[in-house]
């Protein structure tokens, strides 16, 4: 095995073993593990877009977290809207529909952002970063304008969200398992897309050397728009499937942006495998820290919310290129 894979697996095992020793019994260890994987999958949905977009076009999209937030709001309002409720009484089908509409909104907003706001600025990279930061502000403010500043929590449940099963004396929610399953499926699917398809090969080639791809007669601009659209759609999808648990609030944007940035730094900017590994690691580390910091002997719940930032600072100090990065 290559050293970076070895190191990542070792870290993963260390986190899991630490979590095991923190838990009083197998059941609560299972809960911690599942919560970690669940958070890791949500992180992956935001971080993958961030990483691929950065690798390909050198744009760090500070609005990626805002797309997650928009996804949560759209999915919430479609699911809870009285009109849609009247048209589609079955909550499971309605949830499916709300996720699809969130993805569509995310994709459209992402495509528009790249095509009309970022494209004029490729000659001025500093302003691109500043612009995405501005877009994040506008999206957060617009969401507060449309949906007010009060956070929403998911009230109309559906059978998938409600079901649970018993194991080791603890009840496990089916929905979390489904999200974890979808997350793993997406990791493999996007990986295959990048490895096996023509467009994926162009994207990977663009990450390596953009000019060379252009010299070969490929319209890289089109690929940029496509990748940006997909990246934002995936982030929005993450928000939509997280909403039944986390609800919809403006704070989601910053929370997930910062964690996703930590993931990308941890895994290595522009590396897909690194992003997947980093998401899993950070998700599990978060869940373990939540248990650890919540223990009465420790009594420092702040620690858990500071985990992504501390991890990121550590990685930048020790190995700035990240686990799978090429150095700088």
C-alpha distance across the termini of the chain, in Å: 23
Q: Is 315 in the site for another protein (CB under 8 A)?
A: no
> Taking the complex as a whole, how short is the minimal distance between the CB of residue 263 and another protein, in angstroms?
11
Q: Is 310 in the site for another protein (CB under 8 A)?
A: yes
> Taking the complex as a whole, how short is the minimal distance between the CB of residue 94 and another protein, in angstroms?
30
Q: Is 147 in the site for another protein (CB under 8 A)?
A: no
- Given 137, 167, 185, 222, the residue binding another protein (CB under 8 A): 137
- Given 7, 117, 160, 177, the residue binding another protein (CB under 8 A): 117
How far is Cα 316 from Cα 85, in angstroms, rounded to an integer?
49
**In contact, 281 and 266? CB cutoff 8 Å:** yes
Q: Is 26 in the site for another protein (CB under 8 A)?
A: no
Number of residues interacting with another protein: please give it, by CB under 8 A: 39
How far is Cα 60 from Cα 83, in angstroms, rounded to an integer?
38
**Phi/psi of residue 248, each to 5°?**
-130, 125
- Given 10, 17, 142, 185, the residue binding another protein (CB under 8 A): 142
Q: Is 123 in the site for another protein (CB under 8 A)?
A: no
- Binding to another protein in span 212-251, by CB under 8 A: none
In order of 126, 132, 138, 256, 300, the CA distances from 64 in angstroms are: 17, 9, 13, 8, 30
How far is Cα 79 from Cα 235, in angstroms, rounded to an integer?
19
- Given 135, 234, 243, 291, the residue binding another protein (CB under 8 A): 135
Task: Name every residue whose Cβ is closer than 8 Å to that of residue 54 and which is 6 or more positions away in sequence.
Answer: 60, 61, 264, 269, 270
**In contact, 28 and 21? CB cutoff 8 Å:** no
CA neighbours closer than 13 Å in the CB half-sphere of residue 256:
36
Q: Chain-centre distance of CA 259, in angstroms?
A: 8
Q: Is 134 in the site for another protein (CB under 8 A)?
A: yes
Q: Is 314 in the site for another protein (CB under 8 A)?
A: no
> Taking the complex as a whole, how short is the minimal distance between the CB of residue 198 and another protein, in angstroms?
29
- Given 130, 156, 192, 212, the residue binding another protein (CB under 8 A): 130
- Helix axes of 125-147 and 251-267: crossing angle, nearest 10 degrees: 150
Of the listed pieces 15-23, 68-76, 138-146, 270-278, which binds another protein according to CB under 8 A?
138-146
Q: Is 254 in the site for another protein (CB under 8 A)?
A: yes
**In contact, 234 and 50? CB cutoff 8 Å:** no
- The alpha carbons of the chain give a radius of gyration, in whole angstroms, of 20
Q: Is 54 in the site for another protein (CB under 8 A)?
A: yes
Q: Is 52 in the site for another protein (CB under 8 A)?
A: no
> Taking the complex as a whole, how short is the minimal distance between the CB of residue 33 and another protein, in angstroms?
25
- Given 12, 112, 258, 273, the residue binding another protein (CB under 8 A): 258
Binding site for another protein (CB under 8 A): 54, 60, 62, 117, 120-121, 124, 126-127, 129-131, 133-135, 137-138, 141-142, 144-145, 254, 258, 261-262, 265, 301-302, 305-306, 308-310, 312-313, 316-317, 320, 328
């Amino acid at each position: 095995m290559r050293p970076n894979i070895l190191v990542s697996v070792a870290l993963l095992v260390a986190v899991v073993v630490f979590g095991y020793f923190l838990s009083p019994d197998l059941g609560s260890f299972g809960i911690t593990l599942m919560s970690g994987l669940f958070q890791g999958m949500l992180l992956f949905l935001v971080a993958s877009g961030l990483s691929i977009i950065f690798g390909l076009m050198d744009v760090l999209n500070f609005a990626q977290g805002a797309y997650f937030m928009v996804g949560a709001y759209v999915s919430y309002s479609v699911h809870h809207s009285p009109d849609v409720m009247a048209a589609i009484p079955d909550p499971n089908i309605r949830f499916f529909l709300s996720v699809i509409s969130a993805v569509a909104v995310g994709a459209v907003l992402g495509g528009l952002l790249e095509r009309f706001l970022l494209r004029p600025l490729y000659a001025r990279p500093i302003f691109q970063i500043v612009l995405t930061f501005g877009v994040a502000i506008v999206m957060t403010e617009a969401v507060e304008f449309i949906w007010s500043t009060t956070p929403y929590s998911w009230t109309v449940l559906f059978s998938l969200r409600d079901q649970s099963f018993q194991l080791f004396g603890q009840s496990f929610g089916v929905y979390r398992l489904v999200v974890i399953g979808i997350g793993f499926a997406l990791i493999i699917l996007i990986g295959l897309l990048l490895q096996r398809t023509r467009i994926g090969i162009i994207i990977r080639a663009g990450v390596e050397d953009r000019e060379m791809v252009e010299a070969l007669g490929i319209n890289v601009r089109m690929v940029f728009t496509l990748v940006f659209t997909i990246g934002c759609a995936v982030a929005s999808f993450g928000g939509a499937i997280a909403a039944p648990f986390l609800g919809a609030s403006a704070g989601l944007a910053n929370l997930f942006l910062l964690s996703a940035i930590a993931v990308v730094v941890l895994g290595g900017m522009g590396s897909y495998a690194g992003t997947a590994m980093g998401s899993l690691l950070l998700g599990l580390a978060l869940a373990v820290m939540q248990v650890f910091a919540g223990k009465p002997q420790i009594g420092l719940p702040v620690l858990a919310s500071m985990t992504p930032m501390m991890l990121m600072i550590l990685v930048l100090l020790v190995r700035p290129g990240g686990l799978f990065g090429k150095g700088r």
